[in-house]
Amino acid sequence: MGTDSLAKVSVRLNRPTSQIQKRMKELGIAHFAQRGTPRSSVRLQAEEAQKERNKIRFIQRMRKGAVIAEGVANGYTYTALAKELGISPTAARNQFFVFLRVAMLPSMLGEEIPRDFKNIPSHVLKKAVCCVENYCLNLEKEEVRKKYFDK
């Protein structure tokens, strides 16, 4: 039977699908949906790899956002920070906003960061930088643990 679908096996054997399923049950062969195919396992591996890449990309974006937030807390403008980091001012602003969205999650700082991004006290930004940096470190530790110890 290989990894073909039930319909293809039915056509090849010239038997109704109900008869094939009945015989599979008698022989203890798992149903087609439960067996998995090489193609589906490859797809699962690709999805897992994509999740890892997304997590790494997220950590990198958070770290850039933390650098920008720390600069803003110290009185720098987006333009000055962007020039120093070699990115556009718009990219600096967007990374800062993404950083703040994550920092405002209840699991981070709760509602301590005001919704008006222009009036955030510098001590709150510095605390947000510390929290997000710890969060990124925990994500990296979890990733290393999964990669090397959970096999």
77 three-class SS? coil
pLDDT digits (tens, 9 = 90+) for 26-75: 877 766 655 555 556 667 778 888 888 888 888 888 888 888 888 888 88
pLDDT digits (tens, 9 = 90+) for 10-22: 888 888 888 888 8
pTM over 0.75: no
Mean pLDDT of the chain, nearest integer: 75
Q: At what angle do helices 78-85 and 89-103 cross, to 10 degrees?
A: 110
Q: Is the Cβ–Cβ distance between 39 and 3 less than 8 Å?
A: yes
Return d(Cα 143, Cα 29) in angstroms, integer: 36
Q: Which helix (H) or strand (E) holds 139?
A: helix 122-148
Domain map of the chain by residue range?
Answer: 6-35, 44-148
